[in-house]
Amino acid sequence: MRKTVLLITIGCLLFGCKKEETTEFPFDSLVLSSSNLAEINSIKFTRSDTLYFQRNYPDPPQNFYAIISNDKKIELNQYLQNLNINKYKPFFYDENLDDGQSYLLQVKAKDTNKLIFIHGSDAPKELYNYIDSLIALKEDLNFIPTKQVIDFGNLSSILPIPPPPPPLKEN
């Protein structure tokens, strides 16, 4: 009788437990910034379930946040596990293009601190697919404004240069 109860208990433990997806976010943070003539913004992904968004242009700059569902977080983590950021060079620049779309991808991990700047259409298709999927995820979320200061890294390469100061009036 004891053996039967023990076998049933072990069977229930082995077959009754559902394995939960625990795929970890592969980076400490990932920031995707985009710039074109109409807008400049950044999306920040971290190990938490919070996604941050910053609109830099049109003015005024403003920060937002949204909460990612657990299912979306698992899907995102699995997708980003395949991104080997180290295989890409730091610049993809179309010299014949004066305006157009630019992207800045900043990835921070334990032993990696990588920037990839893309201007034009010279980057590998795989990078554009990652960028498109991150933007699509952002579009599906409902962002809430926040006054919280959020570090989006060094955006100087994607932000426009400030205008010159107005001329001084002579007395």
Domain-embedded: residue 112: yes
Residue 76, domain CATH: 3.30.1560.10
Q: Please name the residue ranges forming H helices in 85-147.
A: 125-139
Q: Which among 54, 59, 53, 57 is positioned nearest to 40, based on CA atoms?
A: 57
pLDDT value for 17: 47
3-class DSSP state of 165: coil
- Cβ–Cβ < 8 Å for 61, 42: no
Q: Binning pLDDT at 50, 70 and 90, where does residue 5 land?
A: very low
pLDDT value for 43: 96
Domain-embedded: residue 42: yes
Q: Which among 116, 92, 94, 103 is positioned nearest to 27, based on CA atoms?
A: 116
Both structure tokens of 73: 């977080």
Give the mean pLDDT of 92-100: 79
Domain-embedded: residue 96: yes
pLDDT tens digits, residue range 110-135?
877 899 999 888 899 999 998 998 99
pLDDT tens digits, residue range 34-53?
998 889 999 999 888 999 99
For 79, the domain range is: 22-146
